[in-house]
Amino acid sequence: MKIGSLCTGYGGLDMAVEAFFNAETVWTCEFDKYASQVIEQRIKKINHGDLKKTDWTKVEPIDILTAGYPCQPFSHAGSRKGADDERHLWPYIKEIIRTLRPEFVILENVRGHFGLGFREVLADLASIRYDATWRLVRASDVGAPHRRERLFILAYANSIPHNDARRANTGLSSQASAKFDGANWEKHWRGIENVIDSSSQCITHDRTMQKLGQRFTSRRDMHLQKVPPSLDQGKLNAKFVEYMMGLPDGWVTDVGLSRAQQLKILGNGVVPQQAEYALELLWETYVNA
């Protein structure tokens, strides 16, 4: 399967999708020049740059589209201007989905998106004939030493039948997720706030570690043998943040960027292990729909 990546950053969401679907990223789309430097050196796939200016009728066809679109319009850490924020990219992403018609769309954003803009995303997906299931997952749910709760959405074209072979080959948790059927938008929106609240009840730490063992640690051990110091000359160590984000050693910190640039890219990124675990939970809802 082929992946197209919007708002790629350092590629954390795509790492998870590649691992879960045994798929390949064939192109990226990242406007930030420093994150683009990471893409050039690490991901080494074509970068379409500004998604607002790309002719999406001419890009390579894909099976899966990913987008960790900007969180600033929705984050409680900001002014929460929503659609009035100049960084609000969802309307453009909706049109890209409409144009490319991938089988699956995988989205990521902050928890604050639930209370601001999420209803519009679901309505827009319904308008272009996509159903969706969503889930709140914390980085700590896969053993990471920080919370970093995020919203993950798996959307799928509602004319696409489920793939029994893919279902049979995927080992999944029994934890349910919230589901949205685009064909019955008004019916499913009623009481959605209650569904959202229930979807945020993640499995306990004990159950997580029993199911996953030392997933977070073991995956990192392929790349990083020890925890970097949290401070470097009295300042937050970017390599420590890179470790916290579950990345291979040097993925962001060894591509020639300044410390400030590294921290900005890392702060906007996705923990791959967290995203992959979210996909497991979302996939179970999808195949059991």
Residues 6+ apart with CB under 8 A from 79: 85
The domain made up of 2-200+271-287 is a member of CATH 3.40.50.150: yes
Residue 247 has pLDDT above 70, yes or no: yes
178: closest CA among 264, 277, 278? 278
Helix (H), strand (E) at residue 129: none
The whole-angstrom distance between residue 44's C-alpha and the CA centroid of its chain comes to 20
* Structure confidence by residue, pLDDT tens digits, 107-141: 999 888 887 888 889 999 999 999 999 999 999 99
Exposed / middle / buried, residue 253 (Cβ in 10 Å: 0-12, 13-18, 19+): buried
- φ/ψ bin of 143: left (φ > 0), alpha (ψ from -120 to 50), beta (otherwise): left
* Structure confidence by residue, pLDDT tens digits, 179-226: 555 444 444 333 333 333 333 333 333 333 333 334 444 444 434 447
CA distance 183 to 197: 23
pLDDT of residue 10: 97
CB 172 within 8 A of CB 283: yes
Residue 68 has pLDDT above 80, yes or no: yes
pLDDT of residue 115: 77
CA distance 87 to 41: 26
* Structure confidence by residue, pLDDT tens digits, 7-44: 999 999 999 999 999 999 999 999 999 999 999 999 99
The whole-angstrom distance between residue 62's C-alpha and the CA centroid of its chain comes to 17
State the sign of the Cα–Cα–Cα–Cα dihedral 210, 112, 121, 65.
negative
CA distance 2 to 84: 33
* Structure confidence by residue, pLDDT tens digits, 153-179: 999 998 655 444 343 333 333 333 555
Q: How many helices (H) and strands (E) does the chain have?
A: 12, 10
65: closest CA among 84, 92, 85? 92
Q: Which residues are catalytic?
A: 71
CA distance 12 to 16: 7
248: closest CA among 5, 42, 68? 42
State the sign of the Cα–Cα–Cα–Cα dihedral 234, 238, 242, 245.
positive
pLDDT of residue 127: 95
Q: What global pTM score does this model have? A: 0.80
CB 132 within 8 A of CB 154: yes
Phi and psi (nearest 5°) for 64?
-130, 135
Record the tokens describing residue 180, joined without a space: 């949205």
272-287 helix and 12-21 helix, angle to the nearest 10 degrees: 50
pLDDT of residue 33: 96
Q: Where in the chain is the domain with CATH 3.40.50.150?
A: 2-200+271-287
